[in-house]
Amino acid sequence: MAQSVPLFDSSKPTSHSALFQHFSSPTVVDKCIYCSFIHPSQEDLILVRSNHIEIYNFIIENNEWRLNKVFGTSLYEEIEDIVSVRFYGETVDSILVSFKDAKLAVMNFDPVQYELRTLSIHNFEHENQKGGRFQFNKSPLLRVDPNQRCAVMLIYDRHIAVIPFRRADILGAVGAINDSLTPNTGPMFSDNDNPTHESAWQRKLTAPILQSYTTCLATSTGEKINNIIDFDFLNGFYEPTLLVLYESIGTWAGRVSARRDTCCIVALSFNLQARTNPVIWFQEGLPYDCSKVVPAPRSVGMPYFT
């Protein structure tokens, strides 16, 4: 691996290091994604090690491809999951990072300050959603719609948080509103105004993330979705369509003789405006040891399970 460029100093004191400090950096990679995070013309490898984020790019050295570390930083809490998203009108990707028990941060990279910049923070931790429990089987998993229309996060094994993204048609409507509110007889800004500072309502109207919400799948679908195992978005649907793998009644290896095919799948179509998720189709009687949903390309037509 090539030597890292000294663009940052991970040992530099921060407000985070005033609370606690690692004696040695984590060595195990928990998550990784590949996206255009720093520059639109190249893709970067983002590694997650506990609460550390490291960014690498690929360089050619002595006619060999090597990893070059360009950035690294520590966050306040251990990262549970990470995904990338390309917001409308942007040339680089942003990342969504989830934390225990039900927290989410949306970040991108600031090339001027050369650091991570937080776009929004979401907290979905509510006592009435825990069902009296303190421990949960699944971490807050993140999934993004292939058409970049929304993202979802698993909350407390049974609930889903939906984070809609602003799209081109909505931005066009906002632009029409701005044009109608702006007189055509003169410039929008006077000589004493700074056009780079938009008003608060304009920033809110053009923000890439719309208002998020949560839904209990068992209540909204009428199915016994008590233990969500995995989920992912399907390709080729008009609306964001989520395939959920779950167990209505749990089992384990010692109970296979009495209860074996306990897994079920359900496809949900998300209407982001009405905040509804009707059931498209449902299938039960899958093997109890199904663990993951893998969406297939549209040409294949159906997902498969592992």
Give the model's confidence band at 199: pLDDT under 50 very low, under 70 low, under 90 confident, else very high: low
Would you say residue 86 has pLDDT above 50?
yes
The per-residue pLDDT for 187 is 40
pLDDT tens-digit readout, 17-62: 556 666 777 888 999 999 999 998 889 999 999 888 999 998 888 8
Task: Look at the block and give the residue holding tokens 């100093």.
Answer: 9
Tell me the C-alpha distance between 158 and 244, whole Å. 11
Encode 138-163: b = buried (16+ Cβ within 10 Å), e = exposed: eebbbbbbbebbbbbbbbbbbbbbbb
Query: Are the CB atoms for 178 and 143 separated by under 8 Å?
Result: no
Would you say residue 69 has pLDDT above 80?
yes
pLDDT tens-digit readout, 54-65: 999 988 888 888
Query: Are the CB atoms for 230 and 291 separated by under 8 Å?
Result: yes
Annotated domain spans of the chain: 130-166+208-306, 171-206
Averaged pLDDT of the chain: 79
The per-residue pLDDT for 93 is 92
The per-residue pLDDT for 104 is 92
Tell me the C-alpha distance between 193 and 225, whole Å. 55
Q: Residue 264 belongs to what H/E stretch? A: strand 263-269
Q: Which residue has the higher pLDDT, 261 or 141?
A: 141
pLDDT tens-digit readout, 212-260: 899 988 888 888 888 889 999 998 888 999 999 998 887 777 777 778 8
Amino acid at 285: G
The per-residue pLDDT for 183 is 41
Would you say residue 209 has pLDDT above 60?
yes
Q: pTM for this structure?
A: 0.78
**Please, what CATH class does the domain formed by 130-166+208-306 belong to?**
mainly beta
Tell me the C-alpha distance between 108 and 85, whole Å. 10
Q: What is the mean pLDDT of residues 2-28?
A: 58
Would you say residue 172 has pLDDT above 70?
no
Q: Residue 95 belongs to what H/E stretch? A: strand 94-99
The per-residue pLDDT for 168 is 62
Q: Which of 99, 107, 115 is nearest to 12 (CA)?
A: 115
Bridge partner residues of 63 (DSSP): none
